[in-house]
Structure 1
Amino acid sequence: MLKFILRRIGVSALVLLGASFLMYMLVINSGDPLKDLRESNAQNREQLMAQRAELLRLDDSPLERYWDWLSGVLGCFTGNCDLGVTINGVQVLGLTQQAAASSLRLITLATLLAIVVGVALGILTAIRQYSGFDYTITFSAFLFFSLPVFWAATLLKEYAAIQYNNWIAVGQYAPWTIVIAAAVVGFVLQAVLGGSTRRRLVTAGSAFAFVAVVMFVFNALNWWREPTFGLAGVLVVSGAAGVLVTALVTGLRNRRVLYAALTTTVVGVVAYLAFAPLLVNQPSWLLLAGLFVLTLLVSAGIGAAWGGFSRRQAVLVTLVTGVITSLLVVGDILIANWASFLGLKSRPISTIGSQTPNFTGDFWERVLDMGTQIILPTVLLTLVSVATHSRYTRSSMLETLNQDYVRTARSKGLSEREVIVKHAFRNALIPITTIVAFDFAALIGGAVITEQVFGWKGMGALFQDGLNAVDPAPVMAFFLVTGVAAVLMNLVADLAYAALDPRIRR
């Protein structure tokens, strides 16, 4: 395996080297970097042109300029990283650090959401093939996949930002809105669960009544402007998540694993009570990272202690339950700070930028600000990727479900959960892993347009500004970050192949 990894890294390095040379040559020959100065009427125009020519080393040969850039990149391995300067004399390294942090945060979050949602929808549509739910998801997938990114972004800015900001000033649903929302939820739920006509009607009616009552209660409590979740909410939702994860991994008959998941939930809530003063009064990213690592360690310990003969599955279940519990804790704190955040920013969903300029809130209010800024571009990129993931997952699952070993598993009397999770899904993941790696690279390209529409100062803006000015340094910085990220994702995919299929390890 080590030899395989080293060989892949070597091949990837050669690919990046050749691609970087081609990209550099294309950029420096894409236009005239002195065009704006040639058209200038400034009295010192010649002097300015000479300064820029010296800054960009236009008198040197392209090979010398490329070698100079490559030497600066190789210096990153020795601590002397030099990515050059922009056409205005600004160090590209500093710009790249800021832009990469914004773009990778956006792309990583969109990728994770797309994988979870897309794979889940793909499995459900494969199990419910040719059902109303399958047709609905299939139609939606093709619709989202074919949507032009810039047009979908405009719709999101109008309805998910501008109209939402107008509505949140009051935070009350109109009666017709409650009726329509409840009807849509009831229709979707009965399509997902299926069954006889009577069962569908009961499902739709129950869902309609439940959603309508909840929305009326939220109106009465003014929940959307002054929301609460609380310790009880964290306990109930995380406990339900633990039961669900247990049902998927081992089944509810394995009591030791179920008890491990519930123990993780209780310990997480108790830890929330213990660390609440620190989280509320002295929060920091370092504290959150440390508590998250502690969560993983404690969760794994609980799984190992309870697991018995199912120790491996118990550790997996408790780790997932612990992560969900920690996310719910953070969500509860953010919900508690939503009212004060609205006091500082009455129109919370922004359409431009990655953060609000001169925002003066505390730590959690700044987290809310960053979250509301990232939500629209993340939703846009996720919708496009979910379409791809769901279709490939459905296709792969259907192919796997028709294999002989799946029929054999059913004939041996295994439960449908075991057949789907242990036999079909594991083998269906191999082609899906390939799509995830390629989709990450595609998301980077799509993020260039998304960042432009939402005014997100990330790698896309760096690339576009450099290309428009025929300035190779910012463009090559974009290539360096996104190219390395794409290569790493493909390497992770190769390692995932080996984990999923032991034959590949040989």
Structure 2
Amino acid sequence: MIRYIARRLGISLLILLLGSLLLFVLTINSGDPLEDLRESNAPNRENLINQRISFMGLDRPWYERYFDWLGGASKCLIGACDLGVDRKGQDVGAMVVTAAGSTLRLVVLATVFAIMLGVTLGIVTAIRQYSGFDYAVTFMAFVFFSLPVFWFAVLLKHYAAIEFNNWIVDAAISPPMVLLFAAVLAFILMAALGGDWKRRLITFGAAFVVFAGALFYFDAVTWFRVPSIGLPIFAIAALALAALIVQMTSGLDNKNVRNAVATTTVVGIIAYAVLRGTLMTNPSTLLLFVCLAAAIAVALISGYFWGGFSRRQAMTSSFIWALLASLLALADLALSNWSSYLREQPRPIPTIGSETPNYNSTYWNHFLDSATHLILPTIVLTLISVAAYTRYTRASMLDVLNQDYIRTARSKGISERKVITRHAFRNSMIPLATIVAFDFAGLIGGAVITETVFGWQGMGNMFKVGLAQVDPMPVMAFFLVTGTAAVVMNMIADLAYAVLDPRITR
């Protein structure tokens, strides 16, 4: 396995080297970097031209400039990157840190959401093959996959930002709209769960009553302007989440997994009840990460001691609960500060930028400001990517479900839940490992249009500006980050192959 990884790493580095050489040559020959100054009427034009020549090294051969960049970039291996300066003399390394942080914040969220939603829909549509729900999801997947990014982004700007900001002033839902929303949500849930017509009607009726009642309640208490989950609802949701995770992973009859998740749940609820006040009044990023690490540690310890013969499964189930419950707690803390944020930002969903300039407020208001700036570009990237994940997951899952060992498992009387979660799901993930790797690297390099539409100063914007100005240093920095991301993600995909399929050893 080590030889296999070393060989793949060597090939990847060679490809990066050849790719960087080609990109450098293409960039410096794409135009005249002094064109704007040659046409300038500034009295100090000659000084500006000489200064830019000095910054960009235009008085030296191209291969010297390339090897200077290569030497500085190679220092990244020892943590001392030197990516040169742009045509204004600004340090490109500092620009990359800022731009990469902005882009990664967007890309990581979009990738995680796309994987979660796409894989879930792919599994459900494979199980419900040729049903109405399958056809509807397939149709929507092709629609989102075919949408031009810039057009979709503009639509979101209008309907999800401008119209929402107009609505949130009163945040009122008329009774006909409540009934319409409830009916649509109930219909989607009914289609996803399936069953005979009697079961479908019962599902639709129960879901319609629940959704309508919740929307009427939210409208009556103006929940959309003063939202909160609160400790009682958090506890109820945490218990329901624990029951769902146990049922989906091992079944309620497995007392080892059940006890491990139950212990993690009880400890988590008590800990959140104790710490909620502190997290509301004296929050910090470090404190939130410490709480997350503590939750994960409790989950793993609980799974280890309660697991018995199901130790691995108990630790995995407890770990999943800890992550999801932590996200639920974070949502509760953020929503509890939403009304305060609305008083400072009456139009909360922005259409441009990654943060509000010169905005001074509380920790949670800054958190909400960053989160609201992420909403629109994340939705764009997620829905564009989720289409591919849905289709690949469905195809892979159907291929696995038709294998002989799946029929053998069913013939032995194993429950359908165990057949899907234990036997089919893991094997269907092997092809997706490659898709995830390429998609993550592709989103970093392909977010140029999204960043342009939403005014994000990320890697895509740095690449676009560098290319337009015939400035190779920002372009090469973009290539270094995206190329390294592609190599790393493909290496992770190779390791995932070995984990998912033990037959892969070299």
| TM-score after normalising by structure 1 | 0.98
Match of 2:372 in 1: 372
Counterpart code for 1:327: L
Query: C-alpha distance in 2, partners of 1:286/1:21?
Result: 41
TM alignment of 1:267-346, pairs within 5 A: 267-346=267-346
Q: RMSD of the TM alignment (CA)? A: 1.3
Structure 1 residue 7: Cα displacement: 2.3
Query: C-alpha distance in 1, partners of 2:174/2:361?
Result: 31
Query: C-alpha distance in 1, partners of 2:200/2:294?
Result: 45
Counterpart code for 2:9: I
Query: C-alpha distance in 2, partners of 1:79/1:382?
Result: 33
Q: Is the 8 A contact 2:123 2:397 kept in 1?
A: yes
Match of 2:147 in 1: 147
Distance 1:329 1:470, change over 3 A: same
Q: Is the 8 A contact 2:256 2:307 kept in 1?
A: yes
Q: Is the 8 A contact 1:462 1:474 kept in 2?
A: yes
Q: Is the 8 A contact 1:354 1:373 kept in 2?
A: yes
Q: SS state of the match for residue 126, structure 1?
A: helix
Query: C-alpha distance in 2, partners of 1:245/1:414?
Result: 19
Q: SS state of the match for residue 327, structure 2?
A: helix
Match of 1:445 in 2: 445
Deviations 1:387-435 (A, max 9, x none): 0000000001111111111111111111101111111111111111111
Counterpart code for 2:247: A
State the identity %: 55
Query: C-alpha distance in 2, partners of 1:362/1:448?
Result: 32
Counterpart code for 1:466: G
Match of 2:216 in 1: 216
Q: Is the 8 A contact 2:246 2:257 kept in 1?
A: yes
Counterpart code for 1:109: L
Q: Is the 8 A contact 2:69 2:83 kept in 1?
A: yes
Query: C-alpha distance in 1, partners of 2:2/2:288?
Result: 34
Query: C-alpha distance in 2, partners of 1:51/1:240?
Result: 65
Match of 1:356 in 2: 356
2:85 is the alignment partner of 1:85: yes
Q: SS state of the match for residue 33, structure 1?
A: coil
Match of 2:404 in 1: 404
Range that drifts further, 269-278 or 157-166: 269-278
Query: C-alpha distance in 1, partners of 2:198/2:417?
Result: 26
Deviations 1:6-30 (A, max 9, x none): 2222222111111111111111111
Q: How many residues align?
A: 506
TM alignment of 1:95-106, pairs within 5 A: 95-106=95-106
Distance 1:291 1:307, change over 3 A: same
Query: C-alpha distance in 2, partners of 1:210/1:32?
Result: 64
Q: Is the 8 A contact 1:126 1:394 kept in 2?
A: yes
Q: SS state of the match for residue 359, structure 1?
A: coil
Match of 2:121 in 1: 121
Deviations 1:68-126 (A, max 9, x none): 11111122334432111111111111111000001011111111111111001000000
Q: Is the 8 A contact 1:106 1:374 kept in 2?
A: yes
Counterpart code for 2:67: W
Structure 1 residue 287: Cα displacement: 1.6
Query: C-alpha distance in 1, partners of 2:157/2:12?
Result: 39
Query: C-alpha distance in 2, partners of 1:204/1:280?
Result: 38
Match of 1:436 in 2: 436
Query: C-alpha distance in 2, partners of 1:275/1:194?
Result: 41
Match of 1:384 in 2: 384
Query: C-alpha distance in 2, partners of 1:352/1:469?
Result: 23
Counterpart code for 1:53: I
Counterpart code for 1:386: V
Structure 2 residues without counterparts, runs of 5 or longer: none
Q: Is the 8 A contact 2:446 2:460 kept in 1?
A: no
Runs (4+) off by over 6 Å: none
Structure 1 residue 199: Cα displacement: 2.5
Structure 1 residue 137: Cα displacement: 0.3
Match of 2:470 in 1: 470
Structure 1 residue 167: Cα displacement: 0.7
Match of 1:486 in 2: 486
Match of 1:500 in 2: 500
Counterpart code for 2:151: W
Range that drifts further, 29-38 or 201-210: 201-210
| TM-score after normalising by structure 2 | 0.98
Structure 1 residue 262: Cα displacement: 2.0
2:180 is the alignment partner of 1:180: yes
Structure 1 residue 200: Cα displacement: 2.1
Q: SS state of the match for residue 360, structure 2?
A: coil
Q: Is the 8 A contact 2:156 2:376 kept in 1?
A: yes
Match of 2:246 in 1: 246
Structure 1 residue 171: Cα displacement: 1.1
Query: C-alpha distance in 1, partners of 2:500/2:76?
Result: 35
2:220 is the alignment partner of 1:207: no
Match of 2:413 in 1: 413
Structure 1 residue 277: Cα displacement: 4.0
Range that drifts further, 146-155 or 68-77: 68-77
Range that drifts further, 466-475 or 438-447: 438-447
Counterpart code for 1:23: L
Query: C-alpha distance in 2, partners of 1:199/1:268?
Result: 36
Q: SS state of the match for residue 101, structure 1?
A: helix
Counterpart code for 1:202: I
Match of 1:13 in 2: 13
Q: SS state of the match for residue 504, structure 2?
A: helix
Counterpart code for 1:322: A
Query: C-alpha distance in 2, partners of 1:65/1:139?
Result: 51
Query: C-alpha distance in 2, partners of 1:277/1:132?
Result: 47
Query: C-alpha distance in 2, partners of 1:293/1:7?
Result: 35
Q: Is the 8 A contact 1:235 1:266 kept in 2?
A: no
